[in-house]
Structure 1
Amino acid sequence: MNHNESISLVAQVIQLAVAPVFLLAGIGALLSMLSIRLGRVVDRARLLESQIPKMESSEAAHMQTQARTCWRRIRLIYWAIRLAVCSALLICLVVICLFIGDWIDAGLGVVIASLFVGAMTLISAALLCLLIEVSISTRRMRQSLEHHLT
């Protein structure tokens, strides 16, 4: 293979690798948002837990319920982060396999496709965790508002 063909093949592999790299950027943005959300919920849970001993028993029970809800949300966000990071790692492996497959002329198509499907499955699960967490948050806000209005 001459020098021009070699450069052309590397350029083609780079073109193939660009889409997964954009996906990595999207996962990075998702991770950033999840981290911010996690920090806010942790802060809220700590605030609630610090206020519970100072409250009357009826209000303390309500605050304990809110704190438990916060910790449930924290677990969901934590799982979403774990799943998103695992998805990003699989995307990295896709890019690596694209280059290795080209260099050693190996038939890694099935491996690459499997890694990509795995990454999409994991990111879908992460987004599902986020959806559940947002649903819990919204429901808790509505219940808290109703509690204070009655």
Structure 2
Amino acid sequence: MPMNIQISDIGHVIQLAIAPVFLLTGVATKLTVLTNRLARIIDRTRVLDDVLKQGPDEEFFSERETLYVRAHLINTAITSSTACGLMVCLVIALLFLGDTTNLPLDQYIAGLFVIAMLGLISSFVFFLREIFIASRFMREQHTLSLKRSR
């Protein structure tokens, strides 16, 4: 039985897919921010490794440990954001598939969208934790430098 897909049907599906596409754009932008933060953490770790080769220093070991924790949190945020992006892509694909084949995929689409939102939420939580750790470390370093200067 041949499928008769009307131009208006395709237009309707495209309209439905626009919101998830904008969400996908936001997730991609967030991934850029996260990978840039990870790159800076990696660069700083390399600098500290070079310094530590010259001799052990407790302060640098502490910073390196903080960087390791931050990198782990950013990696988890990247994984969650990527999973979110994947779910959004599946939502878009199922929107088209469901509309063009008249399959009842609405529950799958809703479920994938909820999973995508959970991934996005968890990504923001891990990102926020990483920011708090970075800020706390900066405050601690500032306090130490003030004590040393006195």
TM-score band by shorter chain is over 0.9
TM-score normalised by length of structure 2: 0.92
Matches within 5 A, 1:97-136: 97-136=94-133
Secondary structure of the 1:107 match is coil
Partner Cα distance (2:103, 2:135) in 1:
50
The structure, 1 or 2, with the larger RCO (C-alpha pairs under 8 Å, 6+ apart) is 2
Q: 1:21 maps to what in 2?
A: 21
Matched, 1:94 2:91: yes
Matches within 5 A, 1:45-84: 45-55=45-55, 60-84=57-81
RMSD over equivalenced CA pairs, Å: 1.5
Give the aligned residue type for 1:81: I
Secondary structure of the 1:137 match is helix
Partner Cα distance (2:46, 2:146) in 1:
24
Give the aligned residue type for 2:128: L
Q: 2:37 maps to what in 1?
A: 37
Q: What is the CA deviation profile of residues 76-117 of structure 1, one whole-angstrom value per residue up to 9, with x for unaligned ones?
A: 111111110110000000000001101110111110000000
Larger CA deviation: 43-52 vs 107-116: 43-52
* Length, aligned pairs only: 145
Structure 1, unpaired ranges of 5+: none
Partner Cα distance (1:53, 1:115) in 2:
48
Q: Which runs of 4+ in 1 moved over 3 A?
A: none
Question: What is the deviation of 1:50?
Answer: 1.5
Structure 2, unpaired ranges of 5+: none
What is the identity percentage for the equivalent residue pairs of Structure 1 and Structure 2? 36
Secondary structure of the 2:33 match is helix
